[in-house]
């Protein structure tokens, strides 16, 4: 019996545990890669099905990419996508690590679990529901925020017509929805730190802040690096629900809410150009892959143990 089959039999239990995830990745991540050829074709629908239509569609090379980046909105949507993701990655990292440290320092563990559950709950809400929550605060007529502004004698603000407020609103909503979920990884890492390190620091007279600065944060740095590298890989992807549902697709806000994903969706909805939308998705994936490789290379040169691979 070959070595391969020996390892297969030896690790059969672990492989069976991995099998559902492997099947999911095959059907939803690897199999659709064949369809990326549509990015280089002028796709036309036919009654014969997707693959037959793809095979018969005219080959246009890089024309879909040229069309995507020759529009007046190319710079705008790229800028918005990058800046929003950079802000959310950085602020999300700081807030998630800070929240995890605060939860780990709570003496009453039942209360800590209650807080953790409450902050974890928004992650499971769809962006449609979150969009209605935001609308209940920002509505011109009955919005809670406008009513509070009116109590102080100021004029109500037309939030869905004023673009200058929305970068802050979108970043805040994104953090509110995801920070509880993101903090779980860091909280688990903190709970895995050897308690004797803190006890020795307390004996030496270290304050709580000194313990966090010299023990907790340094020991969290590998997982922080890995999570940041994974986030960098999706820096050209924007959360479609955040930028489409929360601003309620308001045309006056496109200058600050239009990102690559929403732009492609609107283009696909109006023109039906599958080739152009596939080109945008391929562009996002390739750039994200290159960024992960470069970022991991830099991290590996600085600290080999903190690199992703």
- pLDDT tens, 16-66? 999 999 999 898 888 888 888 888 888 777 766 767 777 778 888 888 888
- Indicate the range of 46-50, 103-107, 113-117, 267-271 predicted with least confidence: 46-50
Is 51 a member of any domain?
no
40/10 Cα distance (integer angstroms): 45
Look at 68 and 233; give whichever has higher pLDDT: 233
Look at 170 and 285; give whichever has higher pLDDT: 170
Is 11 a member of any domain?
no
Residue 234 CB contacts under 8 Å (≥ 6 apart), including other chains: 85, 288
Is 63 a member of any domain?
no
- Taking residues 205-230, report their average pLDDT: 89
Q: What is the mean pLDDT of the chain?
A: 86
Is 274 a member of any domain?
yes
Q: Can you say whether the dihedral through the CA atoms of 8, 11, 16, 21 is positive or negative?
A: negative
> Are the CB atoms for 174 and 117 separated by under 8 Å?
no
Residue 163 CB contacts under 8 Å (≥ 6 apart), including other chains: 252, 253, 255, 256, 257
The CATH number for 192's domain is 1.10.3720.10
pLDDT band at 172 (very low <50, low <70, confident <90, very high): very high
68/306 Cα distance (integer angstroms): 37
- Taking residues 138-160, report their average pLDDT: 86
pLDDT at 47: 66
For the chain, how many structural domains are there in total?
1
List C-alpha distances in Å: 111 to 99, 104, 178, 179: 14, 11, 21, 18
> Are the CB atoms for 51 and 34 separated by under 8 Å?
no
Q: How far is CA 180 from the centre of its chain?
A: 14
Is 7 a member of any domain?
no
Placement of tokens 């993101």 in the chain:
182
pLDDT at 173: 95
- Indicate the range of 51-55, 146-150, 172-176, 177-181 predicted with least confidence: 51-55
Where in the sequence is the domain holding 218, given as residue range(s)? 74-306
pLDDT at 1: 55
Over 80: is that where the pLDDT of 235 sits? yes
Is 47 a member of any domain?
no
Which H or E run contains 59?
strand 58-59
Give pTM, 2 decimals: 0.84
278/261 Cα distance (integer angstroms): 11
Placement of tokens 């796709």 in the chain:
43
Is 31 a member of any domain?
no
Nearest to 265 by CA among 253, 280, 251, 250: 280
Rg (CA), the chain: 24
Residue 135 CB contacts under 8 Å (≥ 6 apart), including other chains: 143, 248
Is 109 a member of any domain?
yes
């Amino acid at each position: 019996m070959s070595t391969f089959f020996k390892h297969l039999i030896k690790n059969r239990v672990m492989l069976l545990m991995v099998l559902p995830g492997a099947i999911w990745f095959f059907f939803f991540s690897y199999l659709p890669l064949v369809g990326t050829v549509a990015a280089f074709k002028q796709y036309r629908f036919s009654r014969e099905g997707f693959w037959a239509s793809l095979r018969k569609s005219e080959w246009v090379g890089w024309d879909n990419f040229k069309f995507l980046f020759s529009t007046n909105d190319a710079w705008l949507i790229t800028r918005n996508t990058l800046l929003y993701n950079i802000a959310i990655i950085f602020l999300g990292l700081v807030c998630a690590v800070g929240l995890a440290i605060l939860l780990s320092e709570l003496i009453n563990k039942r209360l800590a679990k209650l807080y953790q559950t409450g902050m974890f709950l928004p992650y499971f809400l769809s962006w449609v529901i979150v969009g209605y929550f935001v609308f209940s605060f920002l509505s011109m007529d009955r919005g809670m925020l406008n009513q509070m502004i009116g109590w102080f004698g100021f004029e109500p603000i037309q939030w869905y017509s004023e673009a200058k407020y929305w970068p802050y609103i979108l970043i805040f909503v994104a953090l509110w929805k995801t920070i509880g979920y993101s903090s779980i990884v860091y909280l688990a890492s903190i709970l895995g730190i050897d308690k004797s390190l803190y006890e020795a620091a307390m004996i030496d007279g270290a304050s709580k802040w000194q313990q966090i600065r010299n023990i907790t944060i340094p020991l969290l740095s590998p997982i922080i690096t890995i999570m940041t590298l994974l986030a960098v890989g999706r820096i050209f992807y924007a959360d479609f629900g955040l930028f489409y549902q929360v601003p309620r697709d308001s045309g006056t806000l496109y200058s600050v809410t239009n990102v690559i994903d929403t732009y492609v969706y609107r283009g696909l909805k109006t023109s039906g150009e599958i080739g152009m939308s596939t080109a945008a998705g391929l562009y996002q994936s390739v750039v994200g892959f290159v960024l992960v490789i470069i970022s991991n290379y830099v991290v590996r040169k600085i600290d080999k143990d903190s690199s992703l691979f």
